[in-house]
Amino acid sequence: MRIDILTLFPEFFASPLKQSILRRAQEQGAVSFRVIDLRDFTTDRHRTADDRPYGGGPGMVMKLEPLVAAIRAVRAEDEAVRVILLTPAGGLLTQKKVQDLAGRGHLLLICGHYEGVDDRLSHYVDEELSIGDYVLTGGEPAALVVADAVVRLLPAVLGCEGSAAEDSFQTGLLDHPHYTRPRVFEGHAVPEVLLSGDHAAVARWRRQEAIKRTLRRRPELLSRAALSPADREFLARLTEISEQQDG
């Protein structure tokens, strides 16, 4: 896979792309990154990429011409590239969307900045994405979030560090609790079932704890989670107990 990142601040990505899973994925040949400086597509000697907004108001707006020129340059190399603008006004990034993006061969992530981009850019991108209902200084952190989420789903990238299939949201549930040594820390002990050596019991405990955690923290996820009949029976018992306690 190839991921291009179009930004006004290419130095922002110098360190993150060389760390941890992102570094390993590049070394394995699973992904290649290219950070593109938007100012390389400006035409004036000051390399101007923003201007005052029509209608007045605070801040500056990113200009349309260099953005479109950059998009066209990347599309000239690969017509199949998926062009994505990171913006608070975009659709919410979900694990399902991440899975879709991980199945594509080439992404171009556009980082907005200042008060935003000229709205006419929507005619030149394939989609707009938001990583949450809050506002960042620019789209650079959001681009890293998208890149990290996508790369970890590429085949063999995680290796022995973990299975993406068991992550939170992969099955519609939050992840189960995790523990490691020491067995007891300041009076807090690891659940005995995890020390039992009974793999079936451990798997059952983890599944039920994932359901418990999701019910407690993100109950809205349960309506679209992939639940087995046994899961639904367990959830019904949890709900009944909760209602009795509330009553």
The catalytic residue positions are: 88, 115, 152, 167
- From the CA atom positions of the chain, what is the Rg in Å? 23
| Cis peptide leading into residue 66 (ω within 30°) | no
Which run of H or of E encompasses 97?
helix 95-102
CA gap 8, 6 in Å, rounded: 7
Half-sphere exposure of 57 (CA within 13 A, CB side): 10
Half-sphere exposure of 220 (CA within 13 A, CB side): 0
In terms of Cα–Cα distance, which of 70, 99, 74 is closest to 172? 99
Instruction: Compute CA 108 distance to the chain's CA centroid, rounded to the nearest angstrom.
Output: 15
CA gap 179, 205 in Å, rounded: 13
Residues 6+ apart with CB under 8 A from 120: 64
Q: How many helices (H) and strands (E) does the chain have?
A: 6, 9
Dump strand ranges (E) for 93-222: 106-111, 127-130, 184-185, 188-189
**What's the CA angle centered on 79, arms 51 and 24, to 5 degrees?**
85
Dump strand ranges (E) for 38-81: 50-51, 61-62
